[in-house]
Chains A and B, each alone.
Chain A
Amino acid sequence: MDLATLLQILDSATRLMAPLLLACLAGLWSERAGVFDIGLEGKMLIAAFAAAAVAAVTGSVWAGLAAGIGASLALACVHALAAITFRGNQLISGVAINFLASGLTVLLGQSWFGLGGRTPSLEGAARFAPVTLPGAEALRGVPVIGPLYAEVLSGHTPLVYLALALVPATGWVLYRTRFGLRLRAVGENPASVDTAGVSVVRLRWAAVLIAGVLCGVAGAYLATGLSAGFVKEMTAGRGYIALAALIFANWRPWRALGATFLFGLMEAVANRFPSLELGPITVPSMVMTALPYILTVIILAGFIGRATPPRAGGEPYVKER
């Protein structure tokens, strides 16, 4: 494998990492506050659809982004209502949200555009254009750093940089602010937060809504950044890979960056080499497709590292008995 191929793979890994990272951070916010979220997939899917539909009609990618966030927030509200306000089963609510998005996107897409669930192809201002980072061309000549900066880091859409910026931002808010401290406490021991006179319900709603916004950005990126339009089931399990990355990252923001980059890299390698030849053995692409899930199971089993989820995750908080 020559250098150009390697740079290409790293570049494509970064591009594929972005939606995973956004969704993974979304899950992190929600689960750190003690609300399981297996509805990441559905929220991304409906956001991708809304973003593509609105961008196609208005011709503005920013209107599309806003629509994507709005659609994802609407499903986040359903989840919060079921999981927090009515203290229902958070896992079942997530499952329902995934199906709801899967059905609604095709139903609405078919009736609005009549393309069998697709939206029209987006072009020009209806898509996110790549940004060349300052100095990318000037630094290109510098060995190692130059090509890495110019080829891998530069030339992505703004949402990729937003995703990257959200890693330190999430870390700072969660670990350095009062809101973050309370939010993490609500995921570990909600009763203590309640005793301190802070509303558990409000904090959890805030966390679930933040997750909604992040999934909205992730979905909008899929439809208007990574591809040019919405196709049926376009998230293709990314919400679940993000969930896997979250476990891999042990519910921590910086590790989420590492985990999602690893999974993005696997996808990039699988795309580039449908069957990877490593000396005498040929690895079929299905192995690469399944690898994130297999790795997650191994992590969950505690054979490498130890997964320590937030303690109150999945349990509705009952104030009075």
Chain B
Amino acid sequence: MTRLPRWADLVLTPLISLVLAFGLSALVILAIGESPWLALKTMVTGALGSSYGWGYTLYYATNFVFTGLAVAVAYHAGLFNIGGEGQAAMGGLGVALVCLALPWPHWALALPAAMLGGAAFGALWALIPAWLQAKRGSHIVITTIMFNFIAAAALNYLLANVLRPTGSMDPATARFPEGTALPRLTDMAAALGLDWGKATPANVSFLVALAACGLVWLLIWRTRLGYEIRAFGKSERAARYAGISPARITVVAMLISGGLAGLMAINNVMGEAGRLVLNSVEGAGFIGIAVALMGRNHPLGILLAALLFGFLYQGGGELALFTQIPRELIVVIQALVILFTGALDNMVRMLIAPLFARRGGA
């Protein structure tokens, strides 16, 4: 097979996958008797046509940056962490426990503590599958899937029986104290004299997500640990020969991955809901897989892919409001993106290979 130039592999393959995914989704929309053009227009207007739409798009994108980075860090170590959903749910528990533990005077104090809590719980939830993979050879994909279900059952139990305030019927924690409310992006814009994104949940977590992108880039490509992670991911035997401990890298990479997934909770639990509710993650952990694949496991790519999925998510909600198309269309697009970028990537490469072969021959 023709070897593609690096830029084509990094940029063209995901783009063509995206075009294929959108094309097939358009066919599905046509098949159910709706207009794909109208659907696209509704989504673009709803998600990007106003600062309100942008606010929601950025809010969703923040979630997906965290879960996407989580998948990517594990992926660089050759591990497929499918457990982002459970780790983010556990991160939510960590954030909730921190927020409810003290009458926090100011968000600037509460946020770092909540970040620690969320990351620690997410990381701990990834630790057991990581340890089992490293020491006992249990397949991490299966164990992380199982841990998603165990997390769901555990949170179900805790919210219904332990954390629910007396007298409340809702399986949810009490409201977090006032001091934990994170500043919204709209407040920050107002401070700058701008009228932007009224009544949207986008908050300071978005900036944390941007910082996380930068830190993950530094970690993976500019530190010794990142080098070891990548070496281990490329070839376990070579890494072992170079004196890198497979068990250590597996555990450390999964701790970072789980921690990043857990960090997501500062956005949805602390920033948006202000309490921990049932099923707070809403599939963002799984969208992280699509985001990481689409973004080619690079923080910049992940940021762009997260924005794309934030747009799809917000646009999908608008779609359900204004057309007959249910928001599950987004799940179909997500599935097709995962399929083309992650599983049929060889096919996509074969599709574009002739373009480069001809140029090389001429």
B41 CB to closest chain A CB (Å) equals 19
B312 CB to closest chain A CB (Å) equals 12
Contact status of A297 and B132, CB under 8 A, knowing A38-B141, A103-B335 = yes
CB atoms of A88 and B343 under 8 A apart:
yes
A189 CB to closest chain B CB (Å) equals 19
A11 CB to closest chain B CB (Å) equals 25
CB atoms of B147 and A92 under 8 A apart:
no
B150 interface residue (CB < 8 Å to A): yes
Point out the residue from A108, A289, A296 that lies within 8 Å of B146, measured CB to CB: A296
Most buried by B among A87, A247, A286, A307: A286
CB atoms of A247 and B339 under 8 A apart:
no
Measured CB to CB, the residues of B under 8 A from A are: 28, 32-34, 80, 82, 128, 132, 136-139, 141-143, 145-147, 149-150, 153-154, 156-157, 161, 286, 289, 293, 324-326, 328-336, 338-339, 342-347, 350
CB atoms of A302 and B138 under 8 A apart:
yes
Docked pose: A307 CA to B139 CA in angstroms: 10
CB atoms of B28 and A307 under 8 A apart:
no
CB atoms of B149 and A240 under 8 A apart:
yes
CB atoms of A103 and B343 under 8 A apart:
no
CB atoms of A100 and B335 under 8 A apart:
yes
A244 interface residue (CB < 8 Å to B): yes
Point out the residues of chain A lying under 8 angstroms from B136, CB to CB.
Answer: 300-302
Closest to A112 in B: B32
9 smallest CB-CB distances across A and B, nearest first, come from A103-B331, A99-B335, A92-B342, A93-B343, A103-B332, A290-B153, A111-B32, A96-B339, A300-B138
Point out the residues of chain B lying under 8 angstroms from A297, CB to CB.
Answer: 128, 132, 138, 143, 146-147, 150
B9 CB to closest chain A CB (Å) equals 15
Give the interface residue-count category, chain A: 35 or more
Point out the residues of chain B lying under 8 angstroms from A107, CB to CB.
Answer: 28, 32, 325-326, 328-329, 332
Docked pose: A289 CA to B156 CA in angstroms: 11
A78 interface residue (CB < 8 Å to B): yes
Point out the residues of chain A lying under 8 angstroms from B286, CB to CB.
Answer: 95, 99
Most buried by B among A102, A284, A301: A301
A287 interface residue (CB < 8 Å to B): yes
Point out the residues of chain A lying under 8 angstroms from B33, CB to CB.
Answer: 111
A106 interface residue (CB < 8 Å to B): yes
Point out the residues of chain A lying under 8 angstroms from B138, CB to CB.
Answer: 297, 300-302, 307
Docked pose: A294 CA to B132 CA in angstroms: 13
CB atoms of A100 and B153 under 8 A apart:
no
CB atoms of A99 and B338 under 8 A apart:
yes
A83 interface residue (CB < 8 Å to B): yes
A97 interface residue (CB < 8 Å to B): yes
Most buried by A among B138, B289, B293: B138
Point out the residue from A93, A111, A237 that lies within 8 Å of B324, measured CB to CB: A111
Most buried by B among A78, A86, A98, A293: A293
A125 interface residue (CB < 8 Å to B): no
A34 CB to closest chain B CB (Å) equals 14
Docked pose: A305 CA to B145 CA in angstroms: 21
B128 CB to closest chain A CB (Å) equals 8
Docked pose: A49 CA to B338 CA in angstroms: 22
CB atoms of B344 and A88 under 8 A apart:
yes
Docked pose: A85 CA to B328 CA in angstroms: 29
Closest to A82 in B: B343
Closest to B324 in A: A111
Closest to B331 in A: A103
A110 interface residue (CB < 8 Å to B): yes
A153 CB to closest chain B CB (Å) equals 30
